[in-house]
Structure 1
Amino acid sequence: MPENTTPVAPPVYDFSLAALRDSDRDRYLACLLSPPDKRGPLSALYAFHAEIARVRDLVREPLPGEIRLQWWRDVLEDPTGTSGEGNPLAEALMDCVKAHNLPVNVLTDMIDARIFDLYDDPMESRASLEGYAGETASALIQLSSLILDPSHAQNSASAAGHAGVAQTIAGLLLLLPLHRRRGQVYFPAELLAATGLDRDGFLTGGNEQSVTSAIRAFAGLGREHLAKARAAAGSISHMNRSAFTAVALAEPVFDSAERAGAKLFDQSIVPPQWRRQWWMWKAARSGRW
């Protein structure tokens, strides 16, 4: 592990660093592996992302979830900059947005994409999934690049787009047991149809062979985007490598999901924390994931 992993950031970011440590350990480590002067702003951005990603976990009905998401939208769109006063995470986020000139519309699009999480509607197509990932994980990588090395951030756009889709698919595979219990299906309907399944058939899991085929096809889609991200990795500036550190976790998840097949419904494939830290540390040092 690197010698200096103590967060160095202005006091405004103390809360977001602590919140991120509790809500998203992988991106917390990504902060610690980034340049010291960037850790605070990155923690605010990542903690905001974690906060809106977990809204479904905090509410029983969609309407309260939409209200929570609307509150964040109001904070970002308030021209006076006072809507988030008193909320330390909102204050840290707005400081980050102003200090690094982050595009507010990208952040509000990220919020809008999370409305899908509140309902049990099926993911209609591969394009719908890629759009969802593009407005969440891909956007997060690109916003991180604007913090780390804004003058070269645009060069990372293609890699960020594909890496975000790969990350999203890996994350959805990890959460598959939870989503099944909730009745949520993020697998594109066309992918399920190609394996002889529909939404209900997938959730019941009666045809294990077809479910295994669907899981492997989903992991294969993630691998496809990961390969495209790697092909575009040469355009990522040295300073923007930290934005991609967590992508190192995707391929091991694909490997585990393909081995588990239909058993993934009932077993966790979340790698141990020490192993995830090792993969991310190697990625941070080498720039390869």
Structure 2
Amino acid sequence: MSDGELPPLVMLLSAHAGAQADRHRAIWAFDGRLATIARTTSEAMIGQMRLAWWNDVIDDPHGVKGQGEPVIEQMRAAGVMAAPGLTAMIDGWEVLVVEPEIDGQGLRDYAAGRGGGLFRALADAPDAPDWLDEAGQVWALWDLSGHVGDDALADAALGQARAVLETMPLIRWPGAWKPLRLAYGLARQDVLAGRRAPVGVSRGMALRLLRLALFGR
């Protein structure tokens, strides 16, 4: 997945990562590849096999598995193959692959794996505070709400995200984690308003992102 294939919001968020922009884009590309597996898998066992292959690539100590695969090459070039949270992301996406109907526990498992893992990977923080995982969960549930055709599942994802928000402390984001602060800020605003994640980046969202970047709210 080249930069040209990354969603516009991902590109905007990564632009705030400064010298870490390549690293952020590579991790987002990995998340996008896992999303494609979840979206295109019709048989759970096949999907699990595809996800297991990615686990094998990440665990390969010699760095030879998957050579030539664009996302893997991008990740290796950016030095993120050992980033914390990558295997958790796979576990989170696996929930959507294997569960025919996602219940509350399934949503929590998905959010903890995909969202918590993604935010730890982007922050490069193996010993991240609990609130960083929770912020990632809110983002993942919000993102899911905008990409499923099942209205009940979308509403349940937003409800679970709101439940996580209600228990979170006041966050003081380190400056280096600005892209994560922005991603979480967008999700938080929509979750509190009961809005699903939009598809693409509208002018309104771009303005919201700018306001968050400048003023933090």
Offset, 1:86: 0.9
Asked if structure 1 preserves the Cα contact closer than 8 Å seen for 2:116 and 2:132, the reply is yes
Q: Distance in 1 between matches of 2:117 and 2:10?
A: 15
Partner residue in 2 for 1:278: 207
Partner residue in 2 for 1:8: none
Q: Distance in 2 between matches of 1:253 and 1:270?
A: 13
Instruction: Output the aligned Cα RMSD.
Output: 3.0
Runs of 4+ residues deviating >4 angstroms: 268-272
Partner residue in 2 for 1:102: 83
Q: Distance in 2 between matches of 1:269 and 1:237?
A: 27
- The one-letter code matched in structure 2 to 1:160 is L
Asked if structure 2 preserves the Cα contact closer than 8 Å seen for 1:16 and 1:43, the reply is no
Partner residue in 2 for 1:31: 14
Aligned residues: 217
* Percent identity (aligned): 20
1:222 has 2:203 as partner: no
Partner residue in 2 for 1:253: 190
Q: Distance in 2 between matches of 1:271 and 1:40?
A: 21
Partner residue in 1 for 2:181: 244
Q: Which runs of 5+ in 1 are unaligned?
A: 1-14, 188-214, 259-263
Q: Distance in 1 between matches of 2:83 and 2:200?
A: 33
The 1:225–1:120 alpha-carbon spacing in structure 2 relative to 1, beyond 3 Å, is: closer
Asked if structure 1 preserves the Cα contact closer than 8 Å seen for 2:186 and 2:209, the reply is yes
Partner residue in 2 for 1:131: 109
Asked if structure 2 preserves the Cα contact closer than 8 Å seen for 1:159 and 1:232, the reply is no
Q: Distance in 2 between matches of 1:108 and 1:280?
A: 29
1:19 has 2:19 as partner: no
Asked if structure 1 preserves the Cα contact closer than 8 Å seen for 2:38 and 2:93, the reply is no
Partner residue in 2 for 1:164: 136
* Correspondence 1:181-200 to 2 at 5 A: 186=153
- The one-letter code matched in structure 1 to 2:150 is H
- Aligned residue for 2:133, secondary structure, equals helix
Q: Distance in 2 between matches of 1:77 and 1:175?
A: 30
Structure whose CA Rg is larger: 1
Offset, 1:247: 1.5
Asked if structure 2 preserves the Cα contact closer than 8 Å seen for 1:256 and 1:269, the reply is no
- The one-letter code matched in structure 2 to 1:34 is A
- The one-letter code matched in structure 2 to 1:59 is T
Asked if structure 2 preserves the Cα contact closer than 8 Å seen for 1:66 and 1:115, the reply is yes
- The one-letter code matched in structure 2 to 1:102 is A
- TM-score (ref. length: structure 1): 0.64
Q: Which runs of 5+ in 2 are unaligned?
A: none
Offset, 1:58: 2.4
- TM-score (ref. length: structure 2): 0.82
- The one-letter code matched in structure 2 to 1:25 is P
Partner residue in 1 for 2:37: 55
The 1:125–1:119 alpha-carbon spacing in structure 2 relative to 1, beyond 3 Å, is: same
1:41 has 2:23 as partner: yes
- Aligned residue for 1:60, secondary structure, equals coil
Offset, 1:272: 5.0
Aligned mate of 1:233, from 165, 171, 175: 171
Offset, 1:42: 0.7
